Amino acid sequence: MAEFAFDDEQLQLRAAVRRFAADNFGEAAARRLMESEEVFDVAVWRRLGSELGVLGMSVPEAAGGVGGSLVDQAVAVEEFGAALAGGPLFGTVYLAIPALAACPAGPARDELLGALIEGQRTAAFAVADIAGTFDPDRVAVTVEEGTLTGTAGRVVDATAADVILVAARGSDGVGLYAVDAGDTERTPLVTMDLSRPQADVTFDRAPARLLAGPDDTGRVITHALQVGAALLAIEQIGAAQHLLDLSVEYAKSRLQFGRQIGSFQAIKHRLADMLVDLEHARSTAYHAVWALTDGSDDPALAASIAQATCSAAFSRIAADTIQVHGGIGFTWEHQAHLYFKRAATDAALLGSAEQHRSRVAELVLDNAVAHSGAVMVATGRP
């Protein structure tokens, strides 16, 4: 599977997900959910799992998956991002399923993973990351006699979740546990992006099932955060492409001074810069997905390159989309703000562009070695 080359099956998958998204997601569906009491459309979610089979595509067959690849999963997520798809994608698809797939096999893991892939149940991932990385010293939830106590703040998709995955500290170290959401107290929060809800989750002697013990938890959570970062980057480019298309169409159809505004270089050059940022972001997001699939690059570096690039690109493209649209782009009725808020949200989740840039600096610059004579600096002496 050569890097950047999607095969015919993946192209068919893209077309199928795009059709499904056109029927079930998009601006109208997102607004409907924003204004309703339901957090997401359970029936649509089940069809994603059972009919399309696109919730856990990279889970190996041995773990109950379809034995696809993360590239397949990325194809679907890109279309979800473009359509602002509703439902607990972030908690379930980007984080919980990759975490479970990396957990040791066992009845608790196998049963839950199967149900999540099928769309029968949903999950949120209540492991606080520090700029996209896992720090076991910051785990505040404790485990005692198979029950968890403590609080996890600002958990994305917790309101939509049937199960909460959470790291907790016991006498032998930090483990990863599954808790039924009904056994926790969830306090919904008003989020800037209403299509990506959060809640504070309190555990008060909540019964928990062990998924990964202290020997495995660090690896499992790190893997989930890297896959999550890559899939979030893919969502970002899907959404950014939608906005660029929207802006280009508007620049062609909007007339001022008797001309299409896209004929003015001030607009045209802004759109060209958006295109460049998007194409760069796309390359880094795909590269991260391929690196995690075939091990061709350090996954930590590839994920940080993607997150640093895609968070900045989506944010800028969303801001420029409003600018190109002028006044209409600032209204509630126009879809630009839905994506602008998603851009701000995605940029903050799993590490900001700045935090990932800092990681890249650590990995690339801080241990760079100078080769003697590699660079010549003129000294004023011929």
Residues that bind another protein (CB under 8 A): 2-5, 244, 248, 251-252, 259-260, 262-265, 267-269, 271-273, 275-276, 279-284, 286-287, 305, 308-309, 357-358, 360-361, 364-365, 368-371, 374-382
Supply the minimum distance, in Å, between the C-beta of residue 86 and another protein. Answer: 30
Per DSSP, the three-state class of 147 is strand
Q: Report the nearest approach of another protein to the CB of residue 61 (Å).
A: 24
Nearest to 180 by CA among 110, 113, 121: 121
Beta-carbon-side half-sphere exposure of residue 124 (alpha carbons within 13 Å)? 27
Tell me which H or E stretch contains 73.
helix 70-82
What is the number of other CB atoms lying within 10 angstroms of the CB of residue 17? 23
Q: Label the pairing between strands 209-212 and 185-189.
A: unpaired
The secondary structure element, H or E, covering residue 62 is none
Q: Would you say 105 or 364 has its CB closer to another protein?
A: 364
12 or 263: whose CB is closer to another protein?
263
Which of 90, 250 has the CB closer to another protein? 250
Task: Work out whether strand 142-144 and strand 123-125 pair parallel, antiparallel, or are unpaired.
Answer: unpaired
Q: How far does Cα 330 stand from its chain's mean position?
A: 26
Nearer to another protein, 2 or 43 (CB): 2
Task: Name the pairing type of β-strands 123-125 and 163-170.
Answer: parallel
Minimal distance in Å, beta carbon 195 to another protein? Answer: 27
Given the complex with another protein, which of 122 and 226 has the nearer CB atom? 226
Least distance in Å: CB of 226 to another protein? 17
Give the whole-angstrom CA distance, residue 211 versus residue 306: 29
Ordered alpha helix ranges (H), the chain: 8-24, 27-35, 42-47, 70-82, 97-102, 107-118, 214-253, 265-294, 299-325, 336-348, 353-360
Tell me whether residue 219 or residue 259 sits nearer to another protein (CB atom): 259
Q: How far is the CB of 12 from another protein (least distance, A)?
A: 17
Cβ proximity to another protein: between 105 and 272 the closer is: 272
Output the smallest distance, CB 236 to another protein, in A: 14
Q: How far is the CB of 335 from another protein (least distance, A)?
A: 20
